[in-house]
Amino acid sequence: RFLRYFPGLQRRGAAIRVVTGTPRRSQIAPPEILREWARYPVGAVIPAEPLNGAPIHRVRLPARKGLRRLWVMNREVHRVCRATSYHPDVLQLISSLPHRSLLRPGPLRRQGTAVVFGYTITFNQALNPIRRALRHGFMKFLSRQIDCVIVNATAMHDQACAMGFETRIEVIANGVDLQRFHPPAREDERRPLREALGVDAETPLLLAVGSLTARKGIDLAIEAWIRLNRRFPQAHLVLVGAGFDTAGEDPEKRKFARRLQDLSAGSGAADRLHFTGFVDRVEDYYRAADLFVFPSEKEGMPNAVLEAMAC
């Protein structure tokens, strides 16, 4: 989603760079990097081609979560932002919490770089009073280290205030490219993809879009589809998104991938359950589907819903 914003920002004169961390082989896209992974030590910057005209600084992170991973990422952010040839006006952090991307914003703010945080995922409110008070104090402390919090819905604005953020909060809604995401102009535009999935024009085709993680509720979508099969025995379910990795290094993700595998095997209709992985043209799936399913357990303002509405 952020990559799609880059061309418009660049046409307006913005110079953009991306600093990203890669802790595991499975998260690296280019095959040439996979082949040479062993020669890059932790903390090394792995060569990466620009994306949408933006240079990519991809640093290899430690496999284990923790302070060392945070320190390595923090060091690279500071190195890029404080280089003699590049002093950014704005540093936007894209993470679940600001401190998971940046330990020390002070030096960057003193050089004139504004630090903003994109708060896009709701947090669990059902905490006991002590934990809720501790989190409120922590968020209040964090908000003093950054210049602005960006949220993508008014409900997120209200929650950010309730969470303890005291800095400036701006609502900037997510955008959808309506030249790309639109209903099919003709019925036959839906046919090629449906035929590739083995679905004719009369067969119900259900679609869920999002990474195959527990937070996205993909297992709930499969469970509901299994129950629906009793009434609609021809229905197909398509799951578009990356993350199905039963051999990955993250034990929680491995466990969840196995759960999806078990649900599929036990459904009695695995031939009508489609895992596509990441796709470039997700709009083709929106236009081909009869019903969009959104089973997330925790979200902010998901673009998948807006894209589905547009299509």
Q: Is the pLDDT of residue 243 over 60?
A: yes
Name the H helices within the chain.
Answer: 2-11, 31-35, 67-81, 106-110, 129-143, 154-163, 191-196, 218-228, 251-266, 282-288, 303-310
Residue 301 — pLDDT band, cuts 50, 70, 90? confident
Share of the chain above pLDDT 90, in %: 28
pTM, 2 dp: 0.76
Question: What would the mean pLDDT of 281-294 be, rounded to a whole number?
Answer: 95
224 pLDDT more than 80:
yes
pLDDT digits (tens, 9 = 90+) for 82-139: 887 778 999 998 876 666 667 788 888 888 999 998 887 776 666 678 887 887 888 8
Is the predicted pLDDT of residue 248 greater than 70, yes or no?
A: no
Q: Which residues of 235-260 are buried (b: 16+ CB within 10 A; e: fewer)?
A: bbbbbbbbbbbeebebeebeebbeeb
Measure the CA–CA gap between 20 and 72, rounded to whole angstroms. 11
pLDDT for 115: 92
Q: pLDDT-derived band of residue 35, with 50, 70 and 90 as boundaries?
A: low
pLDDT band at 53 (very low <50, low <70, confident <90, very high): confident
Rounded to the nearest 10 degrees, the angle between the axes of helix 154-163 and helix 129-143 is 100
- Tens of pLDDT, residue by residue over 152-183, are 888 889 888 888 888 999 999 888 889 999 99
Q: What are phi and psi of 109, to 5 degrees?
A: -65, -35
pLDDT exceeds 60 at position 247: no
Q: Which two tokens stand for residue 5?
A: 């914003």
Identify the residue with better confidence: 130 or 238: 238
